[in-house]
Amino acid sequence: MTPVQSLQLLDLPSILTSRWIGQLHERHRYYHTLGHIEHMLAHIPQGYETTELIAAIWLHDIVYNPHGANNEALSAEQAQMDLRRWSPESRQRVVQLILGTKYHMPAADEQNTLNDLDLLILGEKPERYDAYAKHIRLEYAHVPINSYSKNRALFMRNFLELGRIYMTPSFAPYEDQARENIAREIEGLTA
């Protein structure tokens, strides 16, 4: 699914979706951009193309401040406002999906699908993963390199300690490559 197709399905005012695109082009973003959203949309498994999942894809990182620790909560607040014409149930579902991306814990099928889409980059080919890792570093350029390397390695080790990174069958084929990529990044960060 393309961004244009997804926005047509959401059927929201263009002034609103144009603002989303503007937010995804903020100067401090290198990875958490429209490209990340495009990648997720392109890999939605067949049968999971619900408006709630699509909205959660668009809005899960809509507020992104590398200095902040509450991006998901702020993104969920924006979702509440931006989707105010939707039913309370649909709006709440989108909010819960967004909040579930903070820790990527195993959950219900739709949440697992969103989490797996969000983490899909971890299982991409090494060149693509390396570009992702460089972009994340650029987003955290304000953090001294030694501190960044230590904390990034700790953060990424959490994924290796999981029994599985990907919780849905659609993304299970990415598991081995994700583990190789993460181990390689950690090795580079701790060398």
8-state DSSP, 174: G
Phi/psi region, residue 11 (left: phi>0; alpha: psi -120 to 50; beta: rest), is: left
Give yes or no for residue 191 having a pLDDT over 90: no
Residue 69, C-beta contacts closer than 8 angstroms, at least 6 positions apart: none
Contact between 129 and 181 (Cβ < 8 Å): yes
The pLDDT of residue 120 is 98
Question: Which has the closest alpha carbon to 53: 44, 63, 42, 61?
Answer: 44
Structural domain spans, the chain:
3-190
Mean pLDDT of 5-14: 97
The pLDDT of residue 60 is 98
The pLDDT of residue 105 is 87
Distance separating alpha carbons of residues 181 and 64, to the nearest angstrom: 24
Mean pLDDT of 135-152: 98
Helix H or strand E encompassing 137? helix 126-139
For the record, the structure tokens of 150 come out as 């230590």
| pLDDT one-digit tens code per residue, 42-78 | 999 999 999 999 999 999 999 999 999 999 999 999 9
Sign of CA dihedral 58, 59, 64, 70: negative
pTM of the predicted protein model: 0.96
| pLDDT one-digit tens code per residue, 71-124 | 999 999 999 999 999 999 999 999 999 999 999 988 899 999 999 999 999 999
The pLDDT of residue 148 is 98
The pLDDT of residue 107 is 87
